[in-house]
Amino acid sequence: MDDTFYTIAQVSEAVHKQKGSKFMAFAHHIESEPEARQLLDSYRKNAQFKGACHFCYAYSLGFTNKITKASDDGEPSGTAGKPILNQIESFKLSNIIVIVVRFFGGTLLGTSGLILAYKQASIDCLQQAVRQEIILRNPVKMEFDYKLQSEIDRVLVKYNIIFDKKLFEEKVSYLIQVKRNEQDNLIKQLEELPFYKQLNIQQ
């Protein structure tokens, strides 16, 4: 199971020109569909883009069960949104929206020309983007007697663990974050400890 994905760390932009038309591409990190809609609305209302004829876009959300959407915004079907989305997927990015604002230059580009223009604008934009690694983790809580701590720590040190909390009260309590694809192996190793029945684990 894959648990490492990529998004972008900051806004990226690029401009592609083709036969007089200008294609301004912008990539943003997003966390939800409402955020994507809000961003798109802000571009449509921005005075900088007064006179633009199309605001085409595509976005991808989520890391395992992805939500994707693409819009041609009045361009011929399949000539804008899909080429943009194809590049998002080609760069293996998620939680991202790419908006391409087109200013018409007076010359019709035809279906193939539009596909090429929206594709290239997206490529130029994403090539400049700063990628950010996202590692999916699951929380695991465990409680045990003090005498067991050293053995448990010996197991945990073998894994890419993040400690959210360590409590030393009547018993020791750990709240950790473990990579999704390592969780089963970690639990299996803990189960093999001779004192496993004394270890309280919540996943």
The CATH number given to whatever domain includes residue 188 is: 3.30.70.240
One DSSP character per residue, 107-164 reads S--HHHHHHHHHHHHHHHHHHTS-EEEEE-EEEEEEEE-GGGHHHHHHHHTTS--EEE
- Answer yes or no: do 9 and 52 share one domain: yes
Whether 1 shows a pLDDT value over 70: the answer reads no
Domain range spanning residue 113? 4-133
pLDDT of residue 160: 87
pLDDT > 70: what percent of the chain?
A: 99
- Looking at the structure, tell me whether residues 85 and 116 fall in a common domain: yes
Which residue, 92, 118, 133, sits at the end of a domain? 133
For 152-197, write each residue's pLDDT tens digit.
Answer: 999 999 998 999 999 999 999 999 999 988 999 999 999 999 988 8
Residue 160 CA from chain centroid, whole number: 21
Count the alpha carbons within 13 Å of 142 in the hemisphere toward its beta carbon. 23
pLDDT digits (tens, 9 = 90+) for 10-45: 999 999 999 999 999 999 999 999 999 999 999 999
- CATH of residue 94: 3.30.230.30
Mean pLDDT over the full length of the chain: 94
